[in-house]
Amino acid sequence: MAQMQEEYLYNSIRTAHDGIEEIYASRSGHETCLVDRLFSSSLVAVVTVSAPRKLIVCHYKKGTEICNYSYSNTILAVKLNRSRLIVCLEESLHIHNIRDMKILHTIRDTPPNPRGLCALSPCVDHCYVAYPGSSAVGEVQIFDAVHLNAKCVISAHDSPLAALAWSMCGRRLATASERGTVIRVFAVPERTRLYEFRRGVKRCVSIACLAFSACGSYLAATSNTETVHVFRLTEPAPAGPAADEPAPADDEAAGGWMGWLSSAVSAGAGYLPAQVADVLAQGRAFAAARLPHTGYRAVAAITSVARAPRLLVATAQGVLYVYALDAEGGDCTLLRQHQFLERPAAAPAPQEESERAAELGAALEAAPAPARAFDLRDPKHFPPMRPERPERADPAAH
């Protein structure tokens, strides 16, 4: 779905060559600020710029308005599934029955939520609403939208929440904070932390979108950088390296400075502060896609076209990028890009330093000083770059 200034479009990706086929184009003449569709049905919820407190529910194929509701404040988000419709205001959430659009319940006096952050599970059997429980820390409130009661509270992050996403089964919730470095996946309602992934530690990173694949095995994350990360949700691997792990084949590399440094870090892992140990224990991105431009808000989805996995990324620049997602991971290949808005392209982002190096550097910077400092004169701590030459005998001594 593409939203333009005075219209919104529904598009479908054709199986042949990942092309785009337009399904519907709204030409009401009203500038829309929010639009959401109930899966692949004809039911659409729309909020216009001229009436930001009014929700319009319509049947787009018939071109008819089903109903409309007005609220006390600006509508910040609208979420739908086959059972409920959720309207999010800055300090309240309104739960409607999707069948007759009657208001069933209102969650009042929520913490200030100026971005309208909330997520509704797509599964009717586990119809949960997730929203911030605090504006100071990353606390998530889980509300049962069917039985209309609070389910649980999850302490997800130390800093305020930035993104929330449900899996299709409604039993897993992905979270990210405003810091933008760690993404976590929790089991609901058990509140168990299942996965923890590290996106990076680059400062001023804002997570814009989290999205599960339909099978629940992959999780995509977009931010204000040019990199879209894809994480694979597999069974956690045993912590630490295997005892019988073979040594590097390159004897020179193994015996050189870098080989010594690598072995020293591995051997000293038990002495590392908790901050550094956490960095090493967190999962890494399984795959990544590089956007041609940065600075635009982007959302992502993982789907399949003709049984081939695809990563779709839509940006506020009005461009849809279609990437091939390799089952083995790695860099995603850009297959097609579709331009919906005529806007000048932004300047390419400058080359950045390695995220891995930045992560370790930031963790070490935040960690307390070790109890026993390294001695620059001790060859056990800092071996010489070149082998020492034997001292020559002094002829005058004989």
pLDDT value of residue 365: 56
> Whole-angstrom Cα distance, residue 323 to residue 309?
9
> Whole-angstrom Cα distance, residue 122 to residue 168?
6
Residue by residue, pLDDT tens for the chain (398 residues) are 554 445 666 677 766 567 777 776 776 667 889 999 999 899 999 999 999 999 999 998 888 999 999 999 999 999 999 999 999 999 999 999 999 999 999 999 999 999 999 999 999 999 999 999 999 999 999 999 999 999 999 999 999 999 999 999 999 999 999 999 899 999 999 999 999 998 865 555 899 999 999 999 999 999 988 999 999 998 654 333 333 333 333 333 334 444 444 444 444 544 444 444 444 446 788 999 999 987 788 999 999 888 899 999 999 888 999 999 998 999 999 999 988 876 544 444 444 444 444 554 555 455 555 555 555 566 665 566 555 555 555 555 55
> Whole-angstrom Cα distance, residue 289 to residue 190?
33
List the structure tokens of 87. 């309207």
Q: Name the nearest CA neighbour of 208 among 138, 283, 301, 134.
A: 301
pLDDT value of residue 309: 93
Map residue 377 onto helix, strand or coil: coil
List the structure tokens of 83. 């059972």
Q: Name the nearest CA neighbour of 80 among 115, 110, 35, 112.
A: 35
Q: Are 310 and 338 in contact (CB under 8 A)?
A: no
Q: Which amino acid is at 98?
A: I
Predicted TM-score (pTM) of the model is: 0.74
> Whole-angstrom Cα distance, residue 277 to residue 392?
46
pLDDT value of residue 396: 54
Q: Which long-range contacts (CB under 8 A, 24 or more apart) does 257-264 make?
A: 257/383, 257/385, 260/383
> Whole-angstrom Cα distance, residue 185 to residue 180?
14
Beta bridge partners of 334: 323
Distance of CA 247 to the CA centre of its chain: 35
> Whole-angstrom Cα distance, residue 253 to residue 380?
18
In the chain, helix, strand, coil percent, each to 5? 10, 40, 50
> Whole-angstrom Cα distance, residue 57 to residue 34?
12
The residue to which tokens 């020293």 are assigned = 264
Residue 284, judged by CB atoms within 10 A of its CB (0-12, 13-18, 19+), counts as middle
The residue to which tokens 């009005």 are assigned = 318
pLDDT value of residue 302: 96
Torsions phi, psi of 96, nearest 5? -110, 150
